[in-house]
Structure 1
């Protein structure tokens, strides 16, 4: 599991000539880091000075901590799902029946593989939403980390979108493509706009 590896172990696997982990897992880790940064800023926004916002900040911290867990789960899920795609392509196809079964397995695996990045885009949006809510009350000494969180979430969303696209191109079932499009089309644009707006607000606060 990616969540139990050291950073060096994970990066060595990522850099290897192996198909997993790949961009999908990397995108999920972008999201995990973004959520962790939101939680960190929240924890620096505590104490007497921020007492009037304590309830909001604690809720944001709890939510961000939960998103870290969810993002790491998606990193492992993406790795597993993409391995399923690879395995399906290795199935035998020596007879018409085997060829039909192999084709069906490939299509099922591709549809499943597209679900993880779809979930990740939504998770990235949740990170930006938390960062945006925290911005107004956040400790000014760590406000730049709100922007870092937003950019990490933005990277997660845009990478997830590309991963959805590459799976959709190979999915032959028009109904399945339509369902997936309905779940995801335009979502990453909302995350990008929200993340860019938040980064702009952070920079404006820093630069005055």
Structure 2
């Protein structure tokens, strides 16, 4: 599991000439880091000075912790889903029955591979939402990390969108392709716009 690897071990696997982990897992780790940054800023926004915001800050910290877990789960899920696509292309062929089974296996694996990054966009959006909630009350000494969190979530969302696209184009069933596209169309753009807006607000606050 990626969550239990050392950073060096994960990066060595990512850099190796092997199909997994790839961009999907990297995107999930972007989201995990974004959530961790939000949690860190929240935990610096505590004490007497921030007492009136204690319930908000505690909720954001706990929610961010949950998103870290979810993002790491999606990193593993993406790796497994893409490996399933690779394995499905290795299924035996040569007869009508084998060809049909292989084709069905490929299509099922592609659908699963498209669904994982779709869920990741949702996680990335949740990270940006929490960071935005925290912005107005956040400890000014770590406010730059709010922008860092937003940018990490942005990277997760845009990478996930590309991974959805590359799987969708290989799905032959138009109805399935349309359904999957409809579930995520516009979501990544929404996350990007929110992340960009938040990062700009952070810079304005820093430079004011």
**TM-score if structure 2 supplies the norm length?**
1.00
Could you say which residue in structure 2 is the equivalent of 1:158?
A: 158
CA distance in structure 1 between the aligned counterparts of 2:45 and 2:80, rounded to whole angstroms: 37
User: Does the alignment pair 1:134 with 2:126?
Assistant: no
Could you say which residue in structure 1 is the equivalent of 2:70?
A: 70
Q: CA deviation at 1:83?
A: 0.4
- Structure 2: gaps (5+ residues): none
User: Does the alignment pair 1:189 with 2:189?
Assistant: yes
Q: CA deviation at 1:156?
A: 0.1
Could you say which residue in structure 2 is the equivalent of 1:122?
A: 122
CA distance in structure 1 between the aligned counterparts of 2:66 and 2:95, rounded to whole angstroms: 48
User: Does the alignment pair 1:47 with 2:47?
Assistant: yes
SS of 2:137 mapped into structure 1:
coil
CA distance in structure 2 between the aligned counterparts of 1:94 and 1:84, rounded to whole angstroms: 21
CA distance in structure 2 between the aligned counterparts of 1:177 and 1:103, rounded to whole angstroms: 16
SS of 1:17 mapped into structure 2:
coil
CA distance in structure 1 between the aligned counterparts of 2:3 and 2:62, rounded to whole angstroms: 19
**TM-score if structure 1 supplies the norm length?**
1.00
SS of 2:167 mapped into structure 1:
helix
**After the TM superposition, which parts of structure 1 deviate over 6 Å for at least 4 consecutive aligned residues?**
none
1:19-30 paired onto structure 2 within 5 Å: 19-30=19-30
CA distance in structure 2 between the aligned counterparts of 1:4 and 1:122, rounded to whole angstroms: 23
CA distance in structure 2 between the aligned counterparts of 1:116 and 1:33, rounded to whole angstroms: 18
Q: CA deviation digits over 1:6-56, x for unaligned, max 9?
A: 000000000000000000000000000000000000000000000000000
Q: CA deviation at 1:96?
A: 1.2
CA distance in structure 1 between the aligned counterparts of 2:183 and 2:130, rounded to whole angstroms: 22
CA distance in structure 2 between the aligned counterparts of 1:173 and 1:46, rounded to whole angstroms: 52
Q: CA deviation at 1:150?
A: 0.1
Could you say which residue in structure 1 is the equivalent of 2:94?
A: 94
User: Does the alignment pair 1:144 with 2:144?
Assistant: yes
Q: CA deviation digits over 1:80-112, x for unaligned, max 9?
A: 000000000000102111011000100000000
CA distance in structure 2 between the aligned counterparts of 1:68 and 1:174, rounded to whole angstroms: 34
Q: CA deviation at 1:175?
A: 1.0
